[in-house]
Amino acid sequence: MHSMGSLNMKRLSLKSQGELLYIIGPDNEPRLKVKAGETVTVGTHDAWAGKIRNEEQRYSSVLAELGKYANPVSGPIYVEGTAKGDTLVVDIKGITPTRRYAIAVIPPWWWYHSNPGTAGLSRMLEPQLPEKIRFCEIKGDKVYWDNETPLPYSPMIGTIGTAPELEAIPSTTLASHGGNMDLPEIGLGTRLYLPVYVPGALLHLGDVHAVQGEAEICGSGMEITSEVTITINIIKGKSVNWPRYETPEYLAAVASSCAGTTLEDAIRLAFIELIEWLQRDHGFDKWEAYHLLTYVGKVSLGNMWCAAAKFPKAYLRRQLTTPTRPAG
Amino acid sequence: MHSMGSLNMKRLSLKSQGELLYIIGPDNEPRLKVKAGETVTVGTHDAWAGKIRNEEQRYSSVLAELGKYANPVSGPIYVEGTAKGDTLVVDIKGITPTRRYAIAVIPPWWWYHSNPGTAGLSRMLEPQLPEKIRFCEIKGDKVYWDNETPLPYSPMIGTIGTAPELEAIPSTTLASHGGNMDLPEIGLGTRLYLPVYVPGALLHLGDVHAVQGEAEICGSGMEITSEVTITINIIKGKSVNWPRYETPEYLAAVASSCAGTTLEDAIRLAFIELIEWLQRDHGFDKWEAYHLLTYVGKVSLGNMWCAAAKFPKAYLRRQLTTPTRPAG
Amino acid sequence: MHSMGSLNMKRLSLKSQGELLYIIGPDNEPRLKVKAGETVTVGTHDAWAGKIRNEEQRYSSVLAELGKYANPVSGPIYVEGTAKGDTLVVDIKGITPTRRYAIAVIPPWWWYHSNPGTAGLSRMLEPQLPEKIRFCEIKGDKVYWDNETPLPYSPMIGTIGTAPELEAIPSTTLASHGGNMDLPEIGLGTRLYLPVYVPGALLHLGDVHAVQGEAEICGSGMEITSEVTITINIIKGKSVNWPRYETPEYLAAVASSCAGTTLEDAIRLAFIELIEWLQRDHGFDKWEAYHLLTYVGKVSLGNMWCAAAKFPKAYLRRQLTTPTRPAG
Amino acid sequence: MHSMGSLNMKRLSLKSQGELLYIIGPDNEPRLKVKAGETVTVGTHDAWAGKIRNEEQRYSSVLAELGKYANPVSGPIYVEGTAKGDTLVVDIKGITPTRRYAIAVIPPWWWYHSNPGTAGLSRMLEPQLPEKIRFCEIKGDKVYWDNETPLPYSPMIGTIGTAPELEAIPSTTLASHGGNMDLPEIGLGTRLYLPVYVPGALLHLGDVHAVQGEAEICGSGMEITSEVTITINIIKGKSVNWPRYETPEYLAAVASSCAGTTLEDAIRLAFIELIEWLQRDHGFDKWEAYHLLTYVGKVSLGNMWCAAAKFPKAYLRRQLTTPTRPAG
């Protein structure tokens, strides 16, 4: 007797991945090909590609050694039958840590401050932070900050995106293709929608966190190596401008800041995208969606460059909400 | 036998208030004096001071009539014994609507857009919005968007603040004194901490909403007239730079954007304030607070100029968290 | 025979001013009344109201002593016959220093940095600046940085504005009423246009600089005490949204950042105002103005919150440019 | 006898260029190799790669046809002997238009607005612009806006940059490698310094404008096809973080906004770079440079994402200013 899993499951292990990628772009060579409907397990490395081995290392030395080669991603996965203008649908089915600990760092120089405005001077914590490396044990459904402080193991994919049409974007940054969004809700049970710009979509992912707060204020999550299990589908001929996702409770539209814009602009843009989604797929009048969101809308932050505007699915009109059905 | 309430309760009704205020400043004449520990009920008008009387009015005409006289506040309440450098503590005990409906509007010109950046053009919903006035019935613990769509009655105080030291600030805006923050969590069961800049603190409040989403994207909440019941205390000789609040679950530090800064800066600043709070009052090492917040921190938005950075009280160290005890 | 000057010239000396003002607001008591067409000489104090007396003082101590009482302004001057919706016209005829030196400071804490973005970390000069007070001699048309480095004496009015309608704004900040704009071109030979919000306009001014660069990166100009000579006129029934000015070469529209917006937004807004000016008063089609400005427009900065968008008067169409004729 | 020119001059004509580039990246194949000290003439196409042929075309149709293939650049030029950490020095010796006209467009959708802030609503010109294509004749040292309005022919290179280390950046955008800066002063007689990230530097350039104002408010300059003559040198072992340039009058340090930052941040960052330049190469104490710049600094804008902070060379200390001598 064989399991269904063994029939459908494909695997892109870290070993078969070979060289990790630090750029998400259209020229990256596919490492795995899948069909719509298939389930894949992907090995992901941590944000330092394993260069942190114990708590005694100096974090600034690790960073110096990495240079621009930080936050590696696995992939790309080529999805057969996809073309520019389609939507890629990724259901996150499992995230298993492959080490017994997560790594939590304080960087030496992530000056955490606010900008100077007329209301007063800028504020900062301190110019030089006391850099630190901390290993946190993962046990059962907890990750231990210290012996008395278990945090919930709430794994999420920090970096996931398709290839842009022309440019090659560092895996440390983010844009309409996805990328380093660091959204805590892109985790188990979430369905993610991504734009497709090139044939095969070219899905890249990595940077998995055991747990992370909103805004990710020290600049990295609780980083783990992992095996991520996802089911991939496509929606033909229907595009999204930016990533979107669904949790059991919410529809969420994502946007990020770009050169000349800030998180505030990303939040505004995410709401515009969300309103268009409610209008296109959920039978809302545009202004009704805008108006109702004023009273029931929520915002979730990823890192300081990424926001999701959210609509509670409880307020979807029942007659209209035939679930989005991906091809497959 | 008489109730404690009748002994302690003071009242600033809309009638005793007389003229409403559109400026929060140190020269506003006190309308009520209270002592630390006293409970007060304050009548508040809606954001249009009653000029919206039915759904058939044209909202742009109402706005033209109001000019700069929008978003009135009641008060100020003079708190005896307070001085510059103290902290005012406001416990929100009750918010009772005084009409059977809340008012929800779409403004004619609240162009909802994101700023133009290099990643593409700016986006907007539309330059001209289809202005609308909608009355939503309040019944039991619900406010009805329409017959099939009850929203939870979750009342909150949109505008609350003490007088600044020198300037007089429109009640439509916000700064370190509080003001028009529109934070959904400044509602029932919340304890609010406000800076004191002038003798008596001079507390102003108004702009109560039956329910409101984060970011308040059409620019006003579901506006009600109300009676707000608060208990006022003071912490002598201990100051806060910005408003803070506590809910049963969270400690929250608030900050807002100022000239030259955006919501992104407000979020950063709120986290700095939160870290300092954890350090000063809850036994945290500064860097431990910064580090742990990276994994458990949350962000709540008020309107697009106001953010709260939040720490789950579950992670307060038990031995250290003697509850903040206001004088009174 | 007496001079015309003695007939027309009014004077608001520092002595007759009495108490200086730190707030620009509608409730400030007029210190002088003038008619349209009159010329006034106004004494202005320096940004520290004289509390800096020598180079050996510690600047941080001066600041601690001042608290919020910095950047005093003289006035207000009540201009008879003006009402809300008019435009105030101020021609700057003379700026005479009343001491032999200008004061140049490095503040202890004006952290000069850029905000953190994805392209890298934020940058700052250093968290703690080496505070300094430096007296620079004014001689002839020069102000001496040191013996070998004469800078041109190019005096300008750092803070000038009319009273807002409702609020009272610190003289250290700026908004559509003018205020602390720190524009180097608001100097000799410039005609300034200001909005009128209240009867009498209530003109306030101060914060005169011997010379200042764009962006004013250490936060104050080369500060002097002075006598400013201005001729005041009004344009009845025609309003401006923001300050505007004319130099011999340029028409300039001014805007500043507000809560939630940055200097970038101020620049965009200033161009919109400039286009509307070219359209309303100079016979341009709106799109022709927009288009031509793309090739000939200039931008001047005041401090980091204030920008002027400029159109070279050489490109005004000759037949249309009947000079704006103020009433008087 | 032959001219020096014919000995030294290399040429990368549009014909020898072949396919134009829309991405500036490390994997672009060199089209020409030069040695330090050599002078090169480079053919550049216009921002629409020639797809605009007359004033009757519909600009939105041209844009639809281009898609992401706008703003082509020529190159890359491989400079022998350069390595990561060097500085590339480019002297602009000539810019000759290769057609008799420049092209000036109004785009259909470049919504020109300011962001919404608390001081009022956002402003915009209009949501839909009246798109237009206008050919302006170039004759002698003028380019004619119309028959009565000659503008000075002031050619500049809109897009010029070296290859980044890892990523491939659209030629329409900008970052620390240079790129689409649109600085009017990057023209005749200017010496430009660029960072080198990869062997050979890989210089790309294009997007030449006959004339352009600061901020480039309709989104493109007065675009020409051209032959650009530059002399290329290198400074070994000395790096710059961002582009810098020298005109006869000024030293200028350039910076641009990135995701999460705005033009305001770019200006701050440019000043920090300028101060470091004065300190490293011109004998200034860091704080003296900061302080003096407060009084003599200037700012020039390129497009709305690019700023240059400038120091007048008149204030360089004579004994210290041995001119930067590029190797060659």
Question: In this predicted model, what pLDDT tens digit does every residue of B260-316 receive, in sequence order?
Answer: 899 999 999 999 999 999 999 999 999 999 999 999 999 999 999 999 999 999 999
Q: How big is chain B by its Cα radius of gyration, in Å?
A: 20
Task: Report the neighbours of C using a cutoff of 3 or more CB pairs below 8 angstroms.
Answer: A, B, D
Share above pLDDT 90 across residues of chain C, in percent, rounded to a whole number: 85
Dihedral class, residue C175 (left if φ above 0, else alpha if ψ from -120 to 50, else beta)? beta
Q: Helix, strand or coil for residue B221? A: coil
Amino acid sitting at position B323: P
Cα–Cα distances in angstroms (integers) from residue D237 to residues C90, D106, D233, D244, D277, in the given order: 55, 44, 13, 16, 15
Strand-pair partners of A105: A133
Chain D residue with Cα closest to B111: D122
Q: pLDDT of C18-46, one tens digit each?
A: 999 999 999 999 999 999 999 999 999 99
| For range C237-250, the mean pLDDT | 97
| For range C102-130, the mean pLDDT | 75
Say yes or no: C149 contacts chain D, CB-CB below 8 A.
yes
- The CA distance from D13 to D34, in Å, is 14
Kindly list the strands in the beta sheet with B178-180, ordered across the sheet, starting from the edge strand earlier in the chain.
B32-34, B73-79, B203-209, B156-161, B178-180, B174-175
Burial class (CB in 10 A: 0-12, 13-18, 19+), B28: middle
Q: Which of C125, C214, C260 sits opposite D290 (nearest CB)?
A: C125
Q: pLDDT of D42-71, one tens digit each?
A: 999 999 999 999 999 999 999 999 999 999
Task: Give the CA dihedral D169, D170, D174, D176, nearest 10 degrees.
Answer: 10
Amino acid sitting at position C101: Y
Residue D176 dihedral angles phi and psi, to the nearest 5°? -70, -15
For the domain D10-53+64-100+155-233, what is the CATH code? 2.60.120.580
Q: Helix, strand or coil for residue A129? A: coil
- The pLDDT, as a whole number, for residue C226 is 98
- The pLDDT, as a whole number, for residue C128 is 76
Closest by Cα among A249, A304, A248, A243 to A274: A243
* Banded pLDDT at D236 (limits 50, 70, 90): very high
Q: Provide, as residue numbers in chain A, all residues whose Cβ is less than 8 Å from the Cβ of D165.
A: 68
Helix axes C263-281, C286-296, angle to 10 degrees: 130
Is D145 close to C292, i.e. CB distance below 8 A? yes
Q: Helix, strand or coil for residue B287? A: helix
Asked if A81 and A34 touch (Cβ cutoff 8 Å), the reply is: no
Is D126 close to B127, i.e. CB distance below 8 A? yes
Query: In sequence order, which residues have a C-beta less than 8 Å from that of residue B116 and are 6 or more positions away?
Result: A260, A261, B122, D110, D111, D113, D304
Q: How many CB atoms lie within 10 A of CB B189?
A: 11
The single-letter DSSP state of residue A30 is: P
Query: Which site among B167, B182, B263 would you substitute to test the C interface, given the most C Cβ atoms closer than 10 Å to its Cβ?
Result: B167
Q: Helix, strand or coil for residue B122? A: coil
Q: How many CB atoms lie within 10 A of CB C66?
A: 17
- Write out the two tokens for C203: 């003109």
Q: How many CB atoms lie within 10 A of CB C64?
A: 9
Strand-pair partners of C139: C142
- The CA distance from A95 to A173, in Å, is 22
- The CA distance from C161 to C182, in Å, is 12
- Give yes or no for residue C119 having a pLDDT over 70: no
Q: pLDDT of C168-225, one tens digit each?
A: 999 999 999 999 999 999 999 999 999 999 999 999 999 999 999 999 999 999 999 9
- Give yes or no for residue B324 having a pLDDT over 80: no
Shortest Cα–Cα distance, D175 to chain A (Å): 9
* Banded pLDDT at D326 (limits 50, 70, 90): very low
Tell me the pTM: 0.95
Is C291 close to D211, i.e. CB distance below 8 A? no
Indicate where chain A has its CATH 2.60.120.580 domain(s): 10-53+64-100+155-233
| For range D271-287, the mean pLDDT | 95
- The CA distance from A293 to C159, in Å, is 42
Task: Report the neighbours of D using a cutoff of 3 or more CB pairs below 8 angstroms.
Answer: A, B, C
Q: pLDDT of D150-194, one tens digit each?
A: 999 999 999 999 999 999 999 999 999 999 999 999 999 999 999
Query: Which site among D63, D110, D118, D131 would you substitute to test the B interface, given the most B Cβ atoms closer than 10 Å to its Cβ?
Result: D118
Q: pLDDT of B174-215, one tens digit each?
A: 999 999 999 999 999 999 999 999 999 999 999 999 999 999
- DSSP string covering C110-133, please? ---B---BTTB---BS-SS---EE
Closest by Cα among A105, A98, A133 to A224: A98
Which one is predicted more confidently, A298 or C108? A298
Restricting to C residues 282-311, those with a Cβ less than 8 Å away from any Cβ of A are 304-305
Is C259 close to B305, i.e. CB distance below 8 A? yes
Is B116 close to D264, i.e. CB distance below 8 A? no
Q: pLDDT of D35-46, one tens digit each?
A: 999 999 999 999
Say yes or no: B80 contacts chain C, CB-CB below 8 A.
no
Q: Provide, as residue numbers in chain A, all residues whose Cβ is less than 8 Å from the Cβ of C174.
A: 118
Asked if B270 and B307 touch (Cβ cutoff 8 Å), the reply is: yes
Chain B residue with Cα closest to A149: B315
- Write out the two tokens for C215: 């962006």
Quote helix, strand, coil % in chain A, to nearest 5.
15, 40, 45
In this prediction, the answer to ipTM > 0.85 reads: yes
